[in-house]
């Protein structure tokens, strides 16, 4: 064998057990109480957990947005992912007007393939379905991209008619539609009022799009998906009423999924009152404590299916463009390196179980996004593995992060327990705080939802 990880505790969504894990040619080939075979590399994981690499289903690397480009390219972003135990990222490929969806994927893949340090895929962010482009969704599904996203906000967001059309099309071609749900018109009206009143600091970013602005859009999106009986995945869910709407739709038997992000579990809208509040500006914004608690509760009840980061960092000088006008702050924060350590530390502290952390960060994204080779420590799966030391204390500081961004909203957050090694298809890519992987190692992951 190429690698045997011995004496560790393997974590699955349904339990934890002591085992050796054997790897050959990038795949997990044996899991047993003891593997006596020889291997090129034998790692002792006694006292450690052996986990599937996380899948981050929501990143924006090198994304043109907010008058600039998000500050992690495909190398920096995937390097940081590897160092936080994330071995697969799904990035948003933004369709150009007039462009077929497969061309969108190929255009981004040409950028990503030479740079990616871990495996990757794309969701197509749909802008244009005119002139036959709607039919190119099925071609993208056949190409291995069965997931599409619509934005109900931003200048590139779609109108209700396009949202309706893609939901209907997705149903017929075994695709899944993801949605960024907020009410664009209410945001515009409230923003105009605040700016006219000279209310321009980061706090008014939150007040321009508070709880009900997101909740209303969640409910509308769910209503359309229900009407068409089409599956729907709500990205970065951050409000309590939205959680209630998802809960009800799931209880009624509809295929509605919700994702949330660590920043909504850790922070509340109070961060926008801080002097560095603009660094926390993302959309949807962090909400009040009631919503934060509702999200944790929805994790434990299973209403929230996945965690993802929405990693979309901007440098301090770019965030500073909006120090006197919140509308000029590029929206987004860094987090690609923090998701798995944060959720595992929550498990270590007893807030959730380790099984739940693995379900949310690996098993469920693999299942929902149709990623059959990943997301579990199981024979036959890719050897995307993380060794986790539950006793290692780690305080997040930007100098320890592997992103190109010059700051992090996670600065000073302390975690009990931290990943000490990450393997991507059996290759060591992270060890003891250092990236040891390789630019271009990552491969495009072809997916299917059937
Ligand atoms: O503020 C955010 N979330 N920026 C990235 C784009 C998006 O809305 O997901
Ligand atoms: Zn979004
Ligand atoms: Zn996003
Ligand atoms: Zn401890």
Same domain for 44 and 58, yes or no, is no
Q: Is 286 in the pocket of ligand 1 (CB under 6 A)?
A: no
Burial class of residue 221 (count of CB atoms within 10 Å of its CB; 0-12, 13-18, 19+): buried
- Quote the radius of gyration of the chain (alpha carbons, Å): 21
In a domain, 192, yes or no: yes
Let me know the angle formed at the C-alpha of 279 by 310 and 274, rounded to the nearest 5 degrees: 130
Complex prediction ipTM: 0.97
Q: Is 332 in the pocket of ligand 1 (CB under 6 A)?
A: yes
Same domain for 304 and 338, yes or no, is yes
Confidence (pLDDT) at 37: 85
In a domain, 450, yes or no: no
Same domain for 179 and 225, yes or no, is yes
Determine contact, residues 241/289, Cβ cutoff 8 Å. Answer: no
In a domain, 149, yes or no: yes
Cα–Cα distances (Å) from 7 to 346, 392, 402, in that order, read 24, 18, 29
Q: Is 283 in the pocket of ligand 1 (CB under 6 A)?
A: yes
**Please, what's the largest Cα pairwise distance for the chain?**
73
Confidence (pLDDT) at 154: 96
CA of 282 to the centre of ligand 2 (A): 8
Same domain for 115 and 190, yes or no, is yes
How far, in Å, CA of 279 to CA of 320, rounded?
Answer: 8
Give the total number of structural domains in the chain: 2
Residue nearest to atom 7 of ligand 1 (CA): 283
8-state DSSP, 321: G
Probe target for ligand 1 pocket from 59, 67, 287, 331, with the most ligand atoms within 8 Å of CB: 331
Q: Is 91 in the pocket of ligand 1 (CB under 6 A)?
A: no
Same domain for 175 and 198, yes or no, is yes
Same domain for 117 and 62, yes or no, is yes
Same domain for 302 and 396, yes or no, is no
CA of 427 to the centre of ligand 4 (A): 28
CA of 390 to the centre of ligand 4 (A): 6
In a domain, 319, yes or no: yes
In a domain, 125, yes or no: yes
CATH of the domain at 429: 2.30.40.10
Q: Is 146 in the pocket of ligand 1 (CB under 6 A)?
A: no
Confidence (pLDDT) at 99: 98
How far, in Å, CA of 211 to CA of 190, rounded?
Answer: 13
Is the N-terminal amide bond of 148 cis, ω within 30° of 0?
no
How far, in Å, CA of 95 to CA of 139, rounded?
Answer: 14
Same domain for 107 and 42, yes or no, is no
Same domain for 348 and 388, yes or no, is no
In a domain, 376, yes or no: no
CA of 339 to the centre of ligand 1 (A): 16
Q: Is 60 in the pocket of ligand 1 (CB under 6 A)?
A: yes
Each residue of 388-426: b (16+ CB within 10 Å) or e?
Answer: bbbeeebebeeeebbbbbebbbbeebebebbbbbbbbbb
Determine contact, residues 233/179, Cβ cutoff 8 Å. Answer: yes
Ordered DSSP codes for 391-441: EEEEE--GGG--SS-S--TTTT-EEEEEEEEEEETTEEEEETTEE---TT-
Same domain for 195 and 135, yes or no, is yes
How far, in Å, CA of 2 to CA of 35, rounded?
Answer: 13
Ordered DSSP codes for 28-49: EEEEES------SEEEE-TT-E
Give the dihedral of Cα atoms 167, 173, 175, 178; nearest 10 deg: -20
Q: Locate tokens 């006694």: which residue?
A: 46
Determine contact, residues 49/21, Cβ cutoff 8 Å. Answer: no
Domain limits at 109? 54-368
Cα–Cα distances (Å) from 315 to 77, 128, 406, 411, in that order, read 14, 30, 6, 15
Q: Tell me the ligand closest to 348's alpha carbon.
A: 4
Q: What is the pLDDT along the chain (450 residues), one digit of tens a residue?
A: 999 999 999 999 999 999 999 999 999 999 999 999 899 999 999 999 999 999 999 999 999 999 999 999 999 999 999 999 999 999 999 999 999 999 999 999 999 999 999 999 999 999 999 999 999 999 999 999 999 999 999 999 999 999 999 999 999 999 999 999 999 999 999 999 999 999 999 999 999 999 999 999 999 999 999 999 999 999 999 999 999 999 999 999 999 999 999 999 999 999 999 999 999 999 999 999 999 999 999 999 999 999 999 999 999 999 999 999 999 999 999 999 999 999 999 999 999 999 999 999 999 999 999 999 999 999 999 999 999 999 999 999 999 999 999 999 999 999 999 999 999 999 999 999 999 999 999 999 999 999
How far, in Å, CA of 80 to CA of 117, rounded?
Answer: 9
In a domain, 375, yes or no: no
Determine contact, residues 432/63, Cβ cutoff 8 Å. Answer: no
Q: Locate tokens 């972003």: which residue?
A: 77
Q: From the CB of residue 32, how many other CB atoms can be counted at a distance below 10 Å?
A: 12
**Straight-line distance from the first to the last Cα atom of the chain, in angstroms, rounded to the nearest whole number:** 32
CA of 151 to the centre of ligand 2 (A): 7
Same domain for 68 and 205, yes or no, is yes
CA of 63 to the centre of ligand 2 (A): 12
For residue 283, the ligand 1 atom closest to its alpha carbon is 1
In a domain, 316, yes or no: yes
Confidence (pLDDT) at 28: 98
How far, in Å, CA of 349 to CA of 390, rounded?
Answer: 10
Q: Is 263 in the pocket of ligand 1 (CB under 6 A)?
A: no
- Listed in sequence order, the DSSP H helices in 113-196 are 136-143, 160-172, 184-196
Q: From the CB of residue 376, how many other CB atoms can be counted at a distance below 10 Å?
A: 23
Same domain for 166 and 44, yes or no, is no
């Amino acid at each position: 064998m190429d690698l045997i990880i011995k004496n560790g505790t393997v974590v699955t969504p349904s339990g934890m057990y002591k085992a050796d894990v054997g790897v050959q040619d990038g795949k997990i080939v044996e899991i047993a109480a003891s593997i006596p075979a020889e291997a090129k590399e034998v790692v002792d994981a006694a006292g450690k957990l052996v986990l599937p690499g996380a899948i981050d289903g929501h990143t924006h690397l090198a994304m043109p947005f907010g008058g600039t480009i998000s500050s992690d390219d495909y190398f920096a972003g995937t390097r940081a992912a590897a160092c936080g135990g994330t071995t697969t990222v799904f990035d948003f490929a933004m369709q150009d007007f007039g462009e077929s969806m497969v061309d969108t994927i190929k255009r981004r893949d040409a950028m990503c393939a030479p740079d990616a340090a871990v495996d990757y895929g794309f969701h197509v962010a749909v802008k244009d379905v005119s002139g036959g482009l709607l039919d190119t969704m099925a071609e993208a599904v056949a190409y291995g991209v069965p997931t599409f996203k619509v934005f109900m906000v931003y200048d590139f967001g779609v109108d209700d008619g396009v949202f309706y059309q893609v939901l209907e099309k997705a149903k017929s071609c075994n695709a899944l539609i993801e949605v960024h749900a907020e009410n664009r018109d209410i945001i515009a009206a409230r923003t105009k009022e605040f700016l006219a009143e000279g209310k321009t600091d980061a706090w008014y970013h939150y007040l321009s799009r508070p709880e009900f602005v997101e909740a209303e859009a969640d409910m509308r999106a769910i209503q359309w998906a229900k009407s068409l009986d089409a599956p729907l995945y709500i990205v970065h869910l951050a409000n309590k009423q939205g959680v209630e709407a998802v809960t009800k739709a799931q209880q009624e038997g509809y295929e509605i999924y919700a994702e949330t992000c660590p920043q909504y579990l850790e922070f509340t809208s109070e961060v926008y009152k801080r002097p560095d509040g603009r660094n926390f500006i993302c959309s949807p914004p962090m909400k009040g404590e009631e919503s934060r608690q509702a999200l944790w509760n929805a994790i434990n009840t299973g209403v929230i299916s996945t965690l993802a980061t929405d990693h979309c960092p901007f440098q301090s000088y770019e965030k500073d463009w909006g120090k006197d006008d919140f509308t000029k702050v590029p929206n987004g924060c860094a987090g690609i390196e923090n998701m798995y350590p944060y959720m595992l530390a929550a498990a270590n502290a007893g807030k959730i179980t380790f099984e739940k952390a693995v379900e949310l960060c690996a098993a469920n994204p693999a299942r929902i996004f149709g990623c059959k080779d990943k997301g579990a420590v199981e024979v036959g799966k890719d050897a995307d593995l993380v060794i986790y030391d539950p006793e290692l204390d780690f305080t997040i500081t930007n100098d320890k992060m592997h992103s190109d961004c010059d700051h992090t909203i996670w600065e000073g957050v302390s975690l009990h327990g931290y990943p000490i090694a990450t393997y991507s298809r059996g290759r060591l890519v992270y060890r003891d705080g250092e990236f040891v992987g390789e630019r271009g190692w990552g491969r495009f992951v072809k997916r299917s939802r059937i």
